[in-house]
Each structure stands twice: as structure tokens, then as C-alpha cells.
Amino acid sequence: MSILVLAEHHDGALAGATAHVVAAAQAIGGDIDVLVAGEGVGAVAEAAAKLDGVSRVRVADSAAYAHLLAEPTAALVAELAGDYSHVLAAASTTGKNVLPRVAALKDVAQISEIIAVESPDTFKRPIYAGNAIATVQSEDALKVITVRATGFDAVAEGGSAGIEAVDFVADNAQSTFVKEELAQSDRPELGAAKVVISGGRGMGNGENFKLLDGIADKLGAAIGASRAAVDAGFVPNDMQVGQTGKIVAPELYIAVGISGAIQHLAGMKDSKVIVAINKDEEAPIFQVADYGLVADLFEALPELEKEVG
């Protein structure tokens, strides 16, 4: 078997998710190639070559692949897919955008967001917002799969794979990149952070999210939010943890003023240790929390900030 992993990268750096996808590829077994597509992605390719278990990095460096638009990127992956038994990508917005298109171009099914590999053709994946886990078996010769990064521990860095250029340049007259508005933050990204502290509707307003800043600074944490907090306009959408937002599984997850709707739990219940701070002792979040503190968050947060770090 041979596996092609589509690398994820942002701002010229390899994204952490790729090391998790390579781990999923190792669980399947076989030779692992990483495809780095983009414009000016030399450093990304070098970072990918260092991932353990990677035998070769293939680089398609061209303006055609800038911003990894779905149309040219899928055409590229489909062009190369003939050499492989599996094509994998992270279940990120990039992977989810590109891989179904690849699968349809190759006339095969796509398997979304796997969380475990049972065998090279059988995988586990959450359905119904994580309220059930399906075991599915692909009958296609080529398996096209997106991987939920939190389901697999990242591979280490210690490899030195060879880097080869791919000449294929896809035509694309159908889509053009207009602009990107990305949230600027010095904090770790939600999906990769070891500690996440999230606020819910109980925070009251957007201004009060600043109460989380000091704790996040001390713990090196990313700051998240529940959908209720996002819908109430407290914070932007990209901070949302939940089935319809980011799926996280950090070492420590601190839920503050979050009641624990199913939609939120689906996004964080695989965290190693969960702390809930809520003044309503009946809040469902306490049913999944390892440590629950029934308290007014406006009193508990300043105290917590003082005591940690």
C-alpha cells in the first residue's frame, strides 16, 4: 500500500494537523508520501520531510495552488492519486473542501473525519454530531479519507525524507482568490493548543472575555467559546468550539459559564481533563467535567488567575 497525505499549511508554515494525519497513515500502513501544494512552500516541504514515517515529499509549488483553491488543488491530487491506495488530508476546512472533489473526480466514495483505523479499509467515524460512532468499510480501490486530527497522536520529527518537485500545473479559469480575513492572535491555535479555556453565554458580554486573557496567558492556552456566546455576538465565529465549530481535545479544557449543550460537548468531550465553572449546579456540563466548581465566574476567574502559573 502507498498513501498520499495532502499537507496543511498556513502563512508558509506546516500546520500541526499534518503530523496527526501522517500518524493515521502509519496506522493504515505502507509507504507515506506527503504532497505539499501551494505557492512559495519550500519551508513547508522541508518541515514535512522531517516528520517521522514520511518516505517522500512531493512539492507542487506554483501560483496555480496559491490559497489551495479547491478546483486546481483537487485536479492536482486526482492527477497523482493513481499512484496510491489511500489519499488522506486533515478534516480541516481545506481538507473538507478539496477531498470530496478529488473522490468524485476519481469516481470513488470519500470517508469523512475518521477517528480510528481498524484495518486498511475499515475505519471508525463519528456520526450524528458524535452521538454515535460508525464503523465503515470502503469497497473502493482508492480510499479518499479526511482525518480528525484529535483522533491520532502526532508523529514526532526526526525524519529526513527526500523532496521531489511535481510538474503538473492545473488549469483554473473558474475560481479566483479575492481576500482573506484571518483572526490575528499570539495564542496557540484552538485545534493544537494543550490547554483551552472557553467562555459561554454566562460570560455576559464580549468585554468580559478579557477575564479569560490573563489565565490563558499564564497557561499558554487558546481561548474558545460556545455557540451560544458566538450567536450572542460576544466573540467571532472562529472561536467556536463544538460540532459546528472546532473540534478540540487538549490536555486541559476549562469551560466557563457554558451550560454544556450537546453541540458544544461534541466539540470538546475527548479532552483529557475537563474543568467546568458554572453557577448553575444543574448544568449538564458537570456531567462530563472531571472537576466542577459551582461558583460565580466573576469571582472565580480573578481568583483562578492569581493561583495558576
Partner 1 sequence: MKALVAVKRVIDYNVKIRVKPDHSDVDLTNVKMAMNPFCEIAVEEAVRLKEKGVATEIVAVTIGPKAAQEQLRTALALGADRAIHVETDERVESLGAAKALAKLVEQEQPGLVILGKQAIDSDNNQTGQMLAALTGLPQGTFASAVNVEGDKVQVTREVDGGLQTVELTLPAIVTTDLRLNEPRYAKLPDIMKAKKKPLSVTTPAELGISDASRVKLLKVEPPAERQGGIKVGSVDELVDKLKNEAKVL
Write out the binding residues for partner 1, residues 84-113 only, by CB under 8 A: 92-94, 96-105, 107-113
**178 forms part of the interface with partner 1 (CB under 8 A):** yes
**131 forms part of the interface with partner 1 (CB under 8 A):** yes
Choose among 223, 286, 234: nearest CA to 258.
286
User: What's the chain's Rg over C-alpha atoms?
Assistant: 20
The interface region with partner 1, picked from 23-31, 38-46, 170-178, 202-210 by CB under 8 A, is: 170-178
The interface region with partner 1, picked from 40-48, 55-63, 205-213, 287-295 by CB under 8 A, is: 287-295
Q: Which of residues 52-71 bind partner 1 (CB under 8 A)?
A: 67, 69-71
**133 forms part of the interface with partner 1 (CB under 8 A):** yes
Binds partner 1 (CB under 8 A): choice among 12, 63, 183, 220: 183
CB 300 within 8 A of CB 275: no
Question: Which amino acid does the sequence have at 80?
Answer: L
CB 235 within 8 A of CB 217: no
Closest contact distance (angstroms) between CB of 9 and partner 1 is 12
CA distance 36 to 275: 38
Name the residue nearer to partner 1 (CB basis): 55 or 122. 122
Closest contact distance (angstroms) between CB of 131 and partner 1 is 5
Closest contact distance (angstroms) between CB of 159 and partner 1 is 26
Helix (H, G, I), strand (E, B) or coil at 151: helix
Closest contact distance (angstroms) between CB of 55 and partner 1 is 28
CB 38 within 8 A of CB 10: no
**Torsion angle, alpha carbons of 3, 121, 100, 115, to 10:** -90
Q: Which of residues 211-240 bind partner 1 (CB under 8 A)?
A: 219, 237-238
* 2-6 vs 86-90, strand pairing mode: parallel
**138 forms part of the interface with partner 1 (CB under 8 A):** yes
Name the residue nearer to partner 1 (CB basis): 165 or 183. 183
**128 forms part of the interface with partner 1 (CB under 8 A):** yes
**174 forms part of the interface with partner 1 (CB under 8 A):** yes
Choose among 252, 222, 254: nearest CA to 238.
222
DSSP for 59-119, please give it: EEESGGGGGG-HHHHHHHHHHHHTT-SEEEEESSHHHHHHHHHHHHHTT--EEEEE-EEEE
Binds partner 1 (CB under 8 A): choice among 38, 53, 130, 151: 130
* 56-61 vs 162-165, strand pairing mode: parallel
Q: Which of residues 253-272 bind partner 1 (CB under 8 A)?
A: 262, 269, 272
Task: Fill in the per-residue mask, 192 to 211: x = in contact with partner 1 (CB under 8 A), - = not in contact.
Answer: ---x----------------
Closest contact distance (angstroms) between CB of 233 and partner 1 is 11
